Amino acid sequence: MRLVRRYLAPGELDHELIWLTVSVVSLGFAATWLAVGLPWPRCFFHDFTGLPCLTCGATRCAIAFFHGHLGTALKWNPFVFITLCGLSIFNVYAFSVLILRAPRLRVQEFTRGEKTLLRSAMIVLLLINWTYLLIN
């Protein structure tokens, strides 16, 4: 796997613009939903089994995260907390390269073994997170 910095090729998909837009629109939608007082999302898995799902506490984690209560957010759901941290870093990067018209970071030569390792690591992290949620 190689990480390279380069300008977008003509006609190349602008991932930074797409995912920054998705992120900002989603945040706006969620904030509006909660500000209007609409009901919180229900977890059918939890309702059916009585056990927390993989993302149990994600809404409370996000609310605590965006209010700056990082310790509380981490306790609600560590995986969602880490995801929100990564998303925040990506959004700052995406905004910066869009404004400055700077070269973009791209992964090249991603081997099959590296993809398998990444998928396996994600499954293990999700299982560790779910174990944490079940215990707490």
Q: What is the pLDDT of residues 2-24, one digit of tens each?
A: 889 999 989 999 999 999 999 99
Confidence of residue 42 (pLDDT cuts 50, 70, 90): confident
**pLDDT at residue 105 is higher than 90:** yes
| Gap between the Cα atoms of 124 and 133, Å rounded | 14
Confidence of residue 43 (pLDDT cuts 50, 70, 90): confident
Question: For all residues of the chain together, what is the average pLDDT?
Answer: 93
For residue 45, give every residue at least 6 positions away whose Cβ sits within 8 Å of its Cβ, in sequence order, or none.
51, 53
Cβ atoms of residues 51 and 45 within 8 Å: yes
Both structure tokens of 117: 């390792």
**pLDDT at residue 1 is higher than 90:** no
Both structure tokens of 109: 């030569």
Q: What pLDDT, on a 0 to 100 scale, did the predictor assign at position 95?
A: 97
Q: How far is CA 122 from CA 1, 76, 87, 117, in A?
A: 17, 19, 16, 9
Q: Which among 54, 52, 50, 49 has a CA at the least distance from the CA of 126?
A: 54
Q: What is the pTM of this model?
A: 0.88
